[in-house]
Amino acid sequence: MAHEIRILENTHDVVKLNVMQSTAIRQRTGRIIESLTAQQKQKPVVVSLAATGKAAPKLISIVEIAKRDLASRGVSCKQYTAVSCDQVFVEKGAEQVAEEDSTKAEDDQDYFESMGPKSSDVAVRTQAHLTVFLSKSSIKLLRDSYGEQ
């Protein structure tokens, strides 16, 4: 996905926005509308919005509100959606470690030898990444990679 953004930066003016759970919807929708309705520059504008994990539903809300507002102004908008994931290492909380230890203690009998503490209290989680590209014109690179809405 980063590869596509680097290629796009050669031919388009890319506006990158990140969305977190604490992001204000009104500010992001305003920025999208401002970017896509501004006077045409040398290059066409592409707005890239990215969110991870629990912020993805907020990103979807922002995109839908912005698209609805743009449609009411008579501006057509193309959307390209990319989803990816990676593994994140998260330290287990004290509650998780204590819970695991208590269940082991119930299962163990006196005749089993204890192996001592675990070498790592780290859990592996898969985290989703959602990236949405918005543009007033069709972009072949994104259409071929992600489809067009």
Q: 141: Cβ–Cβ under 8 A, 6 or more apart, which residues?
A: 4, 7, 8
Residue ranges of domains in the chain: 2-87+128-146
Using one digit for the tens of pLDDT, what is the confidence trace for 14-39?
888 888 888 888 998 899 898 888 87
Q: Higher-confidence residue: 16 or 103?
A: 16
Q: pLDDT-derived band of residue 121, with 50, 70 and 90 as boundaries?
A: confident
C-alpha to C-alpha distances, 45 to 32, 102, 126, 142, 149, nearest whole angstrom: 10, 57, 32, 14, 17
| CB atoms near residue 133 (< 10 Å) | 27
Q: How far is CA 110 from the centre of its chain?
A: 49
Q: According to the model, what pLDDT value does residue 64 have?
A: 92
Using one digit for the tens of pLDDT, what is the confidence trace for 132-147?
999 888 888 878 777 7
Q: According to the model, what pLDDT value does residue 85 have?
A: 84
| pTM exceeds 0.75 | no
Could you tell me how many residues make up the chain?
Answer: 149
Q: According to the model, what pLDDT value does residue 65 have?
A: 92
Q: 13: Cβ–Cβ under 8 A, 6 or more apart, which residues?
A: 41, 42, 43, 44, 45, 46
Structure tokens at 34: 């401002």
Number of H helices, E strands in the chain: 5, 4
Q: According to the model, what pLDDT value does residue 44 have?
A: 86
Q: For 2-87+128-146, which CATH superfamily applies?
A: Alba-like domain (3.30.110.20)
Nearest to 33, CA basis, from 75, 66, 68? 66
